[in-house]
Amino acid sequence: MATNNAGHLLDDAGNVFVDFVWGSRPLHPNDVRVEDNASPVVVVAADADQNYDWSGYSVYPSERLNPSLDNHELAISEYSGYPAFTPSAANYIVTAVSADGTTITYTSQNNFKAGELVTITGIPTAAFNLTSATIASANAVKFTVTSATTGAAVTGVYYGRAENVTNPPADGAYVSGAVYVDVPNVIGLTTASATDALKDVTLVPTTATAATNAAKTITAISRTAGETNLVYTSSAHGLTAGSQVTISSTGTSAYNGTFTLSAVATNSFTVVTTATSAVAVTGITGSVVGVAGTIKAQSIAANAATTAVGAAITITPYAAAS
- CATH at residue 236: 2.40.30.20
Check which CATH number belongs to the domain holding 195 and give it: 3.30.10
CA 22 – CA 76 distance, rounded (Å): 12
Residues 31 and 142 in one domain: no
CATH number reported for the structural domain that contains residue 98 in this entry: 2.40.30
Q: From residue 250, how far is each of 131, 233, 255 by CA, in Å?
A: 60, 12, 7
Whole-number Å distance between alpha carbons of 43 and 45: 7
Which helix (H) or strand (E) element contains residue 295? strand 295-298
Is there a single domain that holds both residue 311 and residue 200? yes
Instruction: Give the distance from CA 168 to its chain's centroid.
Output: 28
Domain hosting 232: range is 216-290
Domains identified in the chain, total number:
4
- The reply to whether 255 falls in a domain is yes
Provide the whole-model pTM: 0.53
**Is residue 322 situated within a structural domain?**
no
User: Own/partner pairs for 113-116, CB < 8 Å, 24+ apart?
Assistant: 113/138, 114/138, 115/166, 116/164, 116/165, 116/166, 116/167
CA 115 to chain centre: 36
Distance from C-alpha of 15 to C-alpha of 28, rounded to nearest angstrom:
10
CB atoms within 10 A of CB 7: 14
Does 132 share its domain with 203? no
Amino acid at 91: N
Is 113 found in the same domain as 4? no
Closest Cα partner for 213 from 237, 177, 189, 197? 237
What is the spatial distance between Cα 288 and Cα 266, in angstroms, rounded to a whole number?
A: 14
Q: Are residues 113 and 236 in the same domain?
A: no
Judge if 161 and 223 occupy the same domain: no
**Residues 115 and 147 both lie in one domain:** yes
Q: Is residue 52 part of a domain?
A: no
Q: What is the pLDDT along the chain (322 residues), one digit of tens a residue?
A: 455 555 555 656 566 555 444 454 555 555 555 544 455 555 555 555 545 555 566 665 566 656 556 566 555 555 444 443 334 456 788 888 999 999 999 988 788 889 999 999 888 888 999 999 999 998 878 999 999 998 889 887 766 888 888 876 544 343 433 456 778 899 999 999 898 888 877 788 999 999 999 999 999 999 999 999 999 999 999 999 999 999 999 999 999 999 999 999 999 999 999 999 999 999 999 999 999 999 999 999 998 767 776 788 999 999 999 8
The answer to the question of residue 38 being in a domain is yes
Q: Looking at the structure, do residues 301 and 260 belong to the same domain, yes or no?
A: no
